[in-house]
Amino acid sequence: MGNKTEKQKIGELGESLTCRYLIKKGFEIVDRNYRKPWGEIDIVAKNDQKVVFVEVKTVTGNFPEVFTGNIVRNVTHVTKDEYRPEDNVHSWKLSRLSRVIRTYLLYKYKNREPDWQFDVITVVLDQKTKKAKIKHLENIIL
């Protein structure tokens, strides 16, 4: 595979940070980057007996209002130059994710579909301070 773009490197970093976050929360990472022609699942994790499909959205920038010392505060405003990473999960993306999740469940679990949910995890990387803010949005309806 050729050289990765900056966007791909940032995406991989966000996914790696998300995996570390999930492991600290007691999840087991089952799969990463499960790809089919009609979509991709960034992370498949397990918590107890529930399978959790995770879409990771990562953005970078210098966000001084987000990072203050060891305490991370929420951004409460969005300007034209700033947006929330979760805003990038559009309806067409959810449709593609739904299809690839159904494929994953059929392939991995055959006729015994487990309890599962879909989560979105956002990662905001502050390039100046080298800190990250992770937000976990759970049980999103597809």
Give the pLDDT confidence of 42-55 residue by residue, as tens digits: 999 999 889 999 99
Instruction: Return the closest-CA partner of residue 139 out of 74, 65, 76, 54.
Output: 54
Contact 4, 14 (CB under 8 A): no
Which residues partner with 120 through β-bridges? 55, 137
Residue-level pLDDT at 62 = 59
Write down the CATH number for the domain with range 6-74+84-137.
3.40.1350.10
Q: Give the type of residue at 61.
A: G
Residue-level pLDDT at 66 = 45
Distances (CA, A) of 70 to 65, 66, 67, 73, 133: 13, 11, 8, 10, 11
9: Cα separation from own chain's centroid: 14
Residue-level pLDDT at 89 = 64
Residue-level pLDDT at 128 = 84
Residue-level pLDDT at 42 = 95
Residue spans of the chain under pLDDT 70: 1-2, 62-90, 92
